[in-house]
Structures are given as C-alpha cells and as structure tokens.
Amino acid sequence: ATTATRAAAAAWPTVPDATGPAAEQAVLDRVPTGLLIDGTWRSAADDATFPVVDPATGETLLRVADATPEDGVRALAAADAARAGWARTAPRQRAEVLRRAFDLLQDRREDFALLMTLEMGKPLAEARGEVAYGGEFLRWFSEEAVRIGGSYSTNPEGTGRAVVTHKPVGPAFLITPWNFPLAMATRKIAPALAAGCTVVVKPAELTPLTTLLFADLLLEAGVPAGVVNVVPTTSAAALSEPVIGDPRLRKLSFTGSTPVGRTLLRQAAGTVLRTSMELGGNAPFLVFEDADLELAVEGALLAKFRNTGQACTAANRFLVHEDVAEEFARRITERVAAMPVGRGTEDGIAIGPLIDSRAVDKAHRLVTDALHRGATLRTGGHPVDGSGTFYAPTVLTDVQPGSDLLRDEIFGPVLAIRTFRTEDEAVTAANDTEYGLVGYAFTEDPARGQRLMERLETGMLGLNTGVVSNASAPFGGVKQSGLGREGGGEGIAEYLETMYTLTPDP
C-alpha cells in the first residue's frame, strides 16, 4: 500500500506566482471537495454541499460535501474495518508513510500556505510558518513510531515477572478548530497513525479545505484505504453524537472551545471513551520591573498578534509592573499603530481578517465594555470598514478589574494592560481564571523565573519568549484548558493503551 514516490511529488504542478489570482485558482483546483471514506472521495449521503468563504473578501472559494450523521457512522465503520490491518503494520512502515507525508508537504508548502491564507485569513508569512510547524508533527511522530517501548520487571516480592506493553487504542475521532487548519490536523493525525490507530477527522466547517488537501497528500504518501477518513459538515453536533456514542470508537481528541469540550466530555461518559481535550485559554503575560523591555515588546507582539490574536495561546491579559507600565505601553502602542491590516495574500500584512463577523462583534463588545469600565484607548478600538471582517489592532491601558476581556478569550487583535505592584499580586492575578493553558513572563531574574514555574497554574510557560509551540514538546493545559498533551513523547501516549501481563517466577 505504500507506493507513493518522490517522483510523484516532483511531478506536482508548481505555483508560478504564489499570490496572484491564477495561483489562487490553481491551488483551489487541487482541493478534493468530497468526503474521504474508505479511501474514496464521495459526495454526502444527501448530496448536500456547503460554501467555504474567504474572510478577507466574503467571497465563496469552493463548495464541499456536507457530511450527514449517516456519513459519519460510515466513516467510523471504515476506520473500524481498517483498524486491525493498520495496527499490525511494522512501526517502521508507519514511520515511513509519515516521513513521506512530511517530504510531500515540504514540496507543496506554498500551496498549503496559500490555501490557509485563503480560507482562514492569516497573513501568508504566518501561513508559511504554520506549514513548517504543522509539518514537524509528521517528522516528529515518524521518529516516535519506532520507539513505542515497554518494560519487563521483577515484582517487589520476587514471585513474578511483569511485562508492560503498549498497543494502539483503536479508531479515533479527531475534531479540529478553524484557527490553525493544518497544524491542528497534523498534531492529531500524526501521533494517531504513528501509534497504529485509524481515524475519522471532522475539520472545522469554516476551514475544511486544508484538511481535505492534506488528506489527499496522505493517500499519496501511502496511507491505506480506511485509515484516514474525513467528514466536513455543517452539522457538527448531529454528526458527532452517534459517532461518539458508537462502541467501535475508542478515542476522542478534540481541539476547540471549553464549552464544546464540556459537551463532548458528557457524551464521552456514555461509553467511558478515552478523551484528549485541547480547550480555550486566557493567557497572562507578565512583565516585571527587571524585564528586558525590548524583548518583552517583541514577545508581546508575537504572543498577542500572531494569527491576528486568534490563538488559544494568545496573551489575553497583560500584567505589567507599575514602574515600567507606561514605557511598555508607549513602545507597544507605537508598534501596534503601525501594523498593516489587509488581505493576508498582500505583501507585508501583519493583521489579517478575523474569521467572521461574529468574531468582530465579540472583539468590539469586549473593547466597548472595557472602555465603559474606565480603560484608556491608546490605538485602534474599532472594526475596519469595507469588505471582509477586519478589526483594527488595539491597545488598552488602565483596564479595570471586572472587565469582560479579563475573563473571556478575546480571540482578536486587542492588547489589554493592567498594572501590579508585587510578584505575589501578579501571580494571584495570573491564576485568577478558570483557564490554565499557557503563561508568559518576562524577567531577568532567574530565581523569579523558577518561582513562576512553580507557582503559575498553567500547562506551559514562555519565560522571556512569546511563542512556546514546538512539535517535540508536550502542548496542553490544566484546569478548564483541557486534558492530555499533544506533541513530545506524551503526544503518542494519548493514542496508546497500556497492558500489563504477570507471569510467575520462572
């Protein structure tokens, strides 16, 4: 089944001009628009389709098949039928399929970057960054596939031998969000396949195109029929419920908002289904009086404005020591006010559109609330006129306790600053949230850094850096930011079952 070659990749048509209308049409022409079930692209059971829209222009890019609940169950049946065969393949074979997928993705990185910019809106330079980041999960888990270990030991009494082995958990249902269309898919698919699991992927309905193009690449890389199935749908809840309730399903991995995560956990309880949950965040960004302010400003720009603020890791609350708060605010406002806003395909754009008009309304509601409660507007603070769903990059200072944006995920280009006086006050404020995904802290004092590692209630910490994501590291949150980890050695463990065998003393 592993017949794809590098020669086939070389024959792939190259994009002549990465940003013109011809290049856009060329990449759209390559996207399969059906459902992928049992190795075949097909239409939905009722032939329905739905439009995928460019958020920068409001125009429809493509229509894709709209899976019904019946299609979801058929996809699970295909994953279940392929389960035993894929679990039996040699780890080296699974590793090589993933490595080929990595290589093919490198060859086609411009296509994937452009497609993500078209359907999701992120600036092209960031989309290229996501191709690099998302691709690393394929490479990392191709390397992990051959290192699934176990153990052999004598029990403490000396009366028996314990053998511990790991085996694939079985068919997995993978639900992804729209904000990182490629990386959220590879971060789940790669460890699942490496572990020997088959999958049903339900991409976000706002951005299914990247997943569809990627699934086609996986087939070319040699993934056998039924091992990866893809069911885009506008009926996420209706499709998911019977799949989650089906005893053939053995694992649910979800990335998305905390409220939907809670609903899915309740459904998963029915069959005591194993789950991984990558949920929302409300990241604190701490700047201490001893911070390197230039470094903190650069870190803040990345932690806040990457993906136009639409990241679970986005810094949501800036807590700055009162001695440096005005200087930090002055420097960051100067940079933010100069950020070019526009369609992500244009040169030099830093801020793309938000995903839809609801996202613009939410950002504006949060800003308006903060201003009513006494915050000061330093720049931005309004939607941008014209086609597309843009919000001006915004800086607020003097944000008052009780403001909604201190509690809710902003998910937009709005940087909100409060001040603190002592380290204790900063830590208490940072932990004052139901979320616990990531925190950022800027300080030149190593002892303080160490204290923060121990005291911050987050799954991840960026110490003097504004980006923590890396395929080799365990990504995930505590509290209501989720359960489990993606990436690192922990990432493949999410798709493995542990079995222990005891034999008597020989």
Task: Please list the active-site residues.
Answer: 278
* Sole binder of ligand NAD in the list 55, 170, 280, 309 (CB under 6 A): 280
Q: In angstroms, what is the minimal distance from the CB of 255 to ligand NAD? A: 5
Taking CB under 6 A as the criterion, which residues in 284-313 touch ligand NAD?
A: 312
* Interface region with ligand NAD, contact rule CB under 6 A, candidates 174-182, 222-230, 293-301, 493-501: 174-182
Judged by beta carbon, residue 64 or residue 264, the one nearer ligand NAD is 264
Q: In angstroms, what is the minimal distance from the CB of 503 to ligand NAD? A: 41
How many whole angstroms separate alpha carbon 33 and alpha carbon 19?
22
**DSSP state, residue 224:** P
Instruction: Kindly state the tokens that stand for 212.
Output: 């569809």
Contacts of 170 (CB under 8 A, 6+ apart): 83, 197, 198, 248, 249, 250, 251, 497
* Sole binder of ligand NAD in the list 170, 196, 256, 491 (CB under 6 A): 256
* Interface region with ligand NAD, contact rule CB under 6 A, candidates 93-101, 136-144, 176-184, 380-388: 176-184
Q: In angstroms, what is the minimal distance from the CB of 417 to ligand NAD? A: 21
Point out which residues pair with 153 in neighbouring strands: 162
Q: Which amino acid is at 415?
A: L
How many whole angstroms separate alpha carbon 67 and alpha carbon 47?
9
198 close to 86: Cβ distance less than 8 angstroms: yes
Alpha helices in 306-324 (DSSP H): none
* Interface region with ligand NAD, contact rule CB under 6 A, candidates 70-78, 96-104, 276-284, 387-395: 276-284
* Sole binder of ligand NAD in the list 89, 117, 255, 389 (CB under 6 A): 255
Taking CB under 6 A as the criterion, which residues in 319-358 touch ligand NAD?
A: none
Q: How many CA atoms lie within 13 A of 239 on its CB side?
A: 26
Q: Does 171 bind ligand NAD (CB under 6 A)?
A: no
Q: In angstroms, what is the minimal distance from the CB of 241 to ligand NAD? A: 7
Q: Does 263 bind ligand NAD (CB under 6 A)?
A: yes
User: For the window 431-470, what string marks contact with ligand NAD as x by the rule CB under 6 A?
Assistant: ------x---------------------------------
Q: In angstroms, what is the minimal distance from the CB of 18 to ligand NAD? A: 26
Taking CB under 6 A as the criterion, which residues in 203-222 touch ligand NAD?
A: 204-205
Exposed/middle/buried for 447, CB within 10 Å: 0-12, 13-18, 19+?
exposed
* Sole binder of ligand NAD in the list 75, 174, 217, 260 (CB under 6 A): 260
* Sole binder of ligand NAD in the list 61, 209, 218, 279 (CB under 6 A): 279
Judged by beta carbon, residue 254 or residue 390, the one nearer ligand NAD is 254
How many whole angstroms separate alpha carbon 348 and alpha carbon 126?
11
Instruction: Kindly state the tokens that stand for 506.
Output: 């020989």
How many whole angstroms separate alpha carbon 466 and alpha carbon 454?
19
Instruction: Kindly state the tokens that stand for 231.
Output: 């069911």
How many whole angstroms separate alpha carbon 195 and alpha carbon 174?
14
* Sole binder of ligand NAD in the list 121, 177, 393, 462 (CB under 6 A): 177
* Interface region with ligand NAD, contact rule CB under 6 A, candidates 134-142, 245-253, 256-264, 382-390: 256-264
* Sole binder of ligand NAD in the list 176, 308, 345, 458 (CB under 6 A): 176
Taking CB under 6 A as the criterion, which residues in 66-125 touch ligand NAD?
A: none
Strand 390-391 and strand 383-384: pairing?
antiparallel
Instruction: Give the CB-nearest residue to ligand NAD.
Output: 256
Token look-up 């792939």 returns 12
Contacts of 494 (CB under 8 A, 6+ apart): 191, 251, 253, 276, 484, 485, 486
How many whole angstroms separate alpha carbon 243 and alpha carbon 267?
10
Judged by beta carbon, residue 122 or residue 321, the one nearer ligand NAD is 122
Instruction: Kindly state the tokens that stand for 434.
Output: 């139901």
Q: Give which of 52, 32, 44 is closest to 116, Cα–Cα.
A: 52
Give the other-Cβ count within 10 Å of 499's Cβ. Answer: 11
283 close to 439: Cβ distance less than 8 angstroms: yes
* Interface region with ligand NAD, contact rule CB under 6 A, candidates 10-18, 99-107, 252-260, 412-420: 252-260
* Interface region with ligand NAD, contact rule CB under 6 A, candidates 127-135, 200-208, 417-425, 443-451: 200-208
How many whole angstroms separate alpha carbon 487 and alpha carbon 186?
10
Q: In angstroms, what is the minimal distance from the CB of 205 to ligand NAD? A: 5
Give me the torsion for CA of 4, 25, 19, 185, rounded to 10°: -50
Q: Does 397 bind ligand NAD (CB under 6 A)?
A: no
How many whole angstroms separate alpha carbon 472 and alpha carbon 208?
26
* Sole binder of ligand NAD in the list 237, 338, 499, 502 (CB under 6 A): 237
Judged by beta carbon, residue 100 or residue 274, the one nearer ligand NAD is 274
Q: In angstroms, what is the minimal distance from the CB of 72 to ligand NAD? A: 10
Identify the three-state secondary structure at position 438.
Answer: strand
Contacting residues toward ligand NAD, per CB under 6 A: 175-179, 184, 202, 204-205, 236-237, 240, 255-257, 260, 263-264, 278-281, 312, 409, 437, 477, 482
